[in-house]
Chain A
């Protein structure tokens, strides 16, 4: 029999420490929806997404009711749209169809307006990437991601240069909403095919037809556990591992149940600590609990490395398949501790860049002045991609050059939170970015 203490512990985690399952994401292959015309492709996509994901929200709520553990988001990811529309064009029409599907089935985001161009762009992929700003401006729930580099391929600097332009245009086209288009656009290196988290989720071509991937969370639970730890850093790491195990078990259970009830394949559990902007749900506050006055100060990267590693070690045994991004997330606008540190000027972009070398994922939800040039944005993307490519990990940039604003902050509301506009070094890198071509793969990519 379960003990009283075990029941109380679980319920305390939920009520006082915001334990939740952050997302159930259904990955749906659109490969069998490709038709001779984009109109027919859209019709097939609509029918398939509704048929497969129509009950996603209902099932998520059912499981949340039965377990007493909230499931915050139910989402859908699809095959990169650039592949689906390669022959017909009309990608924006597909984006509109996906948006309609998302609204009809009641999911807040649908991901996969994506292209994988880590080695090079085909003409249709280049055209697709140029369509991203329009697709983000004319839809509400569609998310986009582009993979511009990998450890095996190096960094496609032509795509990096183009993405600087695309981000600026997306910021302009969604200027009446704080340039929110950029909050739904991720530039990856080493993108993964089974990521359940938005805005970077897409359904890889190596995946089964319909797959359930689950992202767990629970920074508040980790922080609360550390409040009682008086010992050294080994004890800190051990405590995090135990908590991560329990959190991840919840994810495993939810993933198994959701897959069974929806007739989908169990994909992976993403071992992540994903913050939200509410108090008590912050990754930054865990680092501060370990012993920092403020996140962003010296010691931050080391604390984050300890946290990230302990979360993985605790979580790996708890699930049958680990995947996605798996690590602590550090999206600035979605974490109250990060927001405060950035507003105080303690947390700077340069420190965040260092942090991305040892955690998941990258420079995430960072607002910068609206006059930041496209070349500087491309330089920022190239730096971040280099960290990912050389360290054989996923990195990403989700940066918002807020149109018409140089300072202050921009409030997106909800989970996207409030982003303080952070200063960025504007030293010119146009010559570097304009060279184009490909940065060769690092020497240790040659493992065969």
Chain B
């Protein structure tokens, strides 16, 4: 399953490193990254592939939420299909 990880929060050092690290530990492969700064806010989306991971979607989601709290940013993971469905004809 493909998913989109979105990270939004105040910019600081190490956000990409820590999110990528957590994904690596969960055997989630990062396929594409797009990142920008919007009014001092760090905004990143990562396209990831969950097919190698042994964890359930909710476990990955919970781990990323926890990490978000540790770093002080908001991290969400959502099925890529919902964005394709909503935004592409």
Which residues does A use to contact B, with CB under 8 Å? 1-4, 6-11, 62, 65-69, 246, 249-250, 252-253
Chain B residues within an 8 Å CB radius of A62 = 57-58
Interface residue B61 (Cβ < 8 Å from any Cβ of A): yes
Name which residue of chain A comes closest to B81, CB basis: A253
Chain A residues within an 8 Å CB radius of B83 = 2, 6-7, 10
CB atoms of B82 and A4 under 8 A apart: no
Which residues does B use to contact A, with CB under 8 Å? 3-4, 6, 8, 32, 34-36, 43-45, 47, 57-58, 61, 76, 78-87
Q: A11-B76, A65-B58, A66-B78 are in contact. Are A2 and B84 (CB under 8 A)?
A: yes
Q: Which of B6, B44, B47, B86 is in CB contact (< 8 Å) with A250?
A: B86
Cα–Cα, bound, A249→B57 (Å): 22
Cα–Cα, bound, A245→B71 (Å): 36
CB atoms of B87 and A4 under 8 A apart: no
CB atoms of A4 and B45 under 8 A apart: yes
Chain B residues within an 8 Å CB radius of A6 = 83, 86-87
Q: Chain A: interface secondary structure?
A: helix
The smallest C-beta distance from A259 to any residue of chain B, in angstroms, reads 15
CB atoms of A1 and B86 under 8 A apart: no
CB atoms of B79 and A7 under 8 A apart: no
Cα–Cα, bound, A67→B3 (Å): 9
The smallest C-beta distance from A193 to any residue of chain B, in angstroms, reads 27
Chain B residues within an 8 Å CB radius of A68 = 76, 78, 82
Number of A-B contacts (CB under 8 A): 65
Q: Which of B34, B43, B85 has the most chain A CB within a 10 Å cutoff?
A: B85
Name which residue of chain A comes closest to B57, CB basis: A66
CB atoms of A1 and B82 under 8 A apart: no
CB atoms of A69 and B47 under 8 A apart: no
Q: Which of B4, B36, B61, B81 is in CB contact (< 8 Å) with A65?
A: B61
Cα–Cα, bound, A252→B86 (Å): 10
Cα–Cα, bound, A347→B45 (Å): 46
Cα–Cα, bound, A66→B2 (Å): 11
Cα–Cα, bound, A65→B80 (Å): 13
Q: Which of A3, A8, A250 is in CB contact (< 8 Å) with B85?
A: A250
Q: What are 27 of the A-B contact pairs (CB < 8 Å)?
A: A1-B34, A2-B84, A4-B36, A4-B43, A4-B44, A6-B83, A7-B6, A7-B45, A7-B78, A8-B6, A9-B87, A10-B78, A10-B82, A10-B83, A11-B76, A62-B58, A67-B79, A67-B82, A68-B78, A68-B82, A69-B82, A246-B86, A249-B86, A250-B82, A252-B85, A253-B81, A253-B86
The smallest C-beta distance from A175 to any residue of chain B, in angstroms, reads 44
Chain B residues within an 8 Å CB radius of A3 = 34
CB atoms of B4 and A249 under 8 A apart: no
Name which residue of chain B comes closest to A257, CB basis: B81
Q: A249-B86, A250-B86 are in contact. Are A1 and B78 (CB under 8 A)?
A: no
Chain A residues within an 8 Å CB radius of B85 = 249-250, 252-253
Cα–Cα, bound, A252→B88 (Å): 13
Cα–Cα, bound, A246→B82 (Å): 10
Cα–Cα, bound, A186→B25 (Å): 54
